[in-house]
């Protein structure tokens, strides 16, 4: 039993650490900056905050109660491993929400609440998502809608957050709703930065007849791997080679020079990618929980 426990923490230690740290940061952002200014977070936490502001009910308890039916439905309709991870994430998050519920910080400007709250919640949620976990709630709903109705998860999340914003406008006024939108925007940007990183990569697709010379030059001068795919020109009826590689934006100038030098007739496109996962130089290791 001890050996199994040790192996579990050895394999999942980093994931658990990111969930714990992310939940602590997320709850600090809510308790120190959102709650005093009556701003709303996204998802279930936002609905729990409305109940807290209106009736004084504890946010942590409301998060748990709202999540219970979602977890019960998700247990039957969504991958159970994801539900278990989400339950762990929710438990840790609500624990920190309650633990930090009495903390206070002196400040007077609502701009401080918007910026600091957005940064901390975005950082916290980003760490949780990067670990492959979640805090349940609307993530489960989004999974169900995506799995059974092919609704994009980003779209369903946006609709749910829009409902929170409309509720804020209706209950607390337009000014408060605008502040909530600004905080959500900052949180989303920080979240994206934590998950994807700042240096967005560039995926390059090159159509060329220089099957040997061009890949060799790219690998030697850019230190990047190249994948070669047989291609066929529909208009010309000629056979070509499609070369695929991923580079940093700082290598883009050198790549253009190499392609121009080796094959001036080559045709290539540049695609911005937000994250690159798998085996490769400076790529992210891939963590995934099946839906």
CA distances from 46 to 13, 173, 237, 275 (A): 29, 16, 57, 28
Is the pLDDT higher at 133 or at 22?
Answer: 22
Residue at which a domain ends, from 137, 168, 196: 196
Give how many domains the chain has, as a whole number.
Answer: 2
CATH number, residue 262: 3.30.70.120
288 part of a folded domain: no
In this structure, are 101 and 220 located in the same domain? no
In this structure, are 181 and 76 located in the same domain? yes
The residue segments making up the domain with residue 94 are: 2-196
Task: Give the rounded percent of residues in the chain with a pLDDT score beyond 90.
Answer: 55
pLDDT in tens, 89-125: 899 999 999 999 999 999 999 999 999 999 999 999 9
Cβ-contact 181, 165 below 8 angstroms: yes
Mean pLDDT for all residues in the chain: 87
Please tell me the chain's helix, strand, coil percentages from 3-state DSSP, rounded to the nearest 5: 65, 10, 25
96 part of a folded domain: yes
287 part of a folded domain: no
Pairing of β 239-248 and β 201-208: antiparallel
The per-residue pLDDT for 258 is 93
In this structure, are 147 and 240 located in the same domain? no
pLDDT in tens, 191-213: 988 887 766 789 999 999 999 99
Strand, helix or coil at 273?
Answer: strand
How crowded is residue 83: how many other Cβ atoms within 10 Å of its Cβ?
A: 23
pLDDT higher than 50, residue 73: yes
Give the burial string for 161-189 (b: 16+ CB within 10 Å, else e): beebbebbbeebeeebbebbbbbbebbbe
pLDDT higher than 50, residue 291: no
Q: What is the C-alpha to C-alpha distance for residues 26 and 128, in angstroms, rounded to an integer?
A: 9
Tokens of 237: 């009826």
pLDDT higher than 70, residue 5: no
The per-residue pLDDT for 250 is 79
In this structure, are 265 and 158 located in the same domain? no
Q: How confident is the model at residue 1 (pLDDT cuts 50, 70, 90)?
A: low
- CA 93 from chain centre, in angstroms, equals 17
Tokens of 43: 């998802």
In this structure, are 170 and 233 located in the same domain? no
Q: What is the C-alpha to C-alpha distance for residues 34 and 182, in angstroms, rounded to an integer?
A: 12
What mean pLDDT comes out for the span 166-171?
A: 95
In this structure, are 39 and 99 located in the same domain? yes
80 part of a folded domain: yes
279 part of a folded domain: no
In this structure, are 30 and 153 located in the same domain? yes
Which pTM does this prediction carry? Answer: 0.76
> How many CA atoms lie less than 13 Å away from 132 in the CB half-sphere?
18
278 part of a folded domain: no
In this structure, are 116 and 177 located in the same domain? yes
The per-residue pLDDT for 288 is 46
Cβ-contact 232, 240 below 8 angstroms: yes
Segment of 25-39, 140-154, 263-277 carrying the highest mean pLDDT: 25-39
């Amino acid at each position: 039993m001890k050996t199994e426990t040790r192996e579990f923490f050895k394999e999942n230690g980093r994931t658990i650490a990111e969930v714990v740290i992310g939940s602590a940061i997320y709850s600090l952002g809510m308790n120190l900056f959102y709650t005093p200014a009556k701003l709303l977070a996204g998802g279930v936490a936002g609905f729990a905050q409305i109940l807290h502001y209106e009736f004084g009910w504890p946010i942590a308890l409301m998060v748990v109660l709202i999540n219970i039916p979602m977890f019960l439905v998700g247990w039957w309709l969504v991958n159970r491993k994801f539900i278990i991870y989400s339950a762990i994430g929710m438990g840790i998050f609500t624990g920190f929400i309650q633990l930090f519920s009495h903390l206070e910080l002196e400040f007077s400007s609502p701009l401080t609440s918007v910026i600091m709250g957005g940064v901390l919640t975005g950082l916290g949620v980003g760490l949780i998502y990067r670990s492959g976990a979640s805090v349940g709630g609307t993530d489960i709903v989004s999974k169900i809608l995506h799995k059974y109705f092919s609704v994009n998860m980003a779209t369903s999340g946006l609709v749910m957050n829009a409902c929170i914003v409309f509720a804020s406008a209706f209950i607390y006024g337009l000014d408060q709703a605008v502040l909530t939108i600004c905080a959500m925007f900052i949180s989303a940007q920080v979240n994206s930065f934590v998950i994807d990183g700042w240096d967005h990569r560039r995926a390059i697709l090159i159509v060329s007849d220089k099957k040997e010379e061009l890949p060799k030059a790219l690998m030697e001068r850019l230190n990047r791997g190249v994948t070669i795919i047989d291609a066929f020109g529909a208009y010309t009826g000629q056979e070509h080679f499609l070369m695929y590689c991923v580079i940093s934006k700082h290598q883009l100038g050198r790549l253009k020079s190499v392609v121009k030098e080796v094959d001036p007739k080559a045709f290539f496109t540049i695609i911005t990618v937000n994250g690159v996962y798998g085996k490769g130089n400076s790529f992210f290791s891939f963590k995934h929980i099946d839906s």
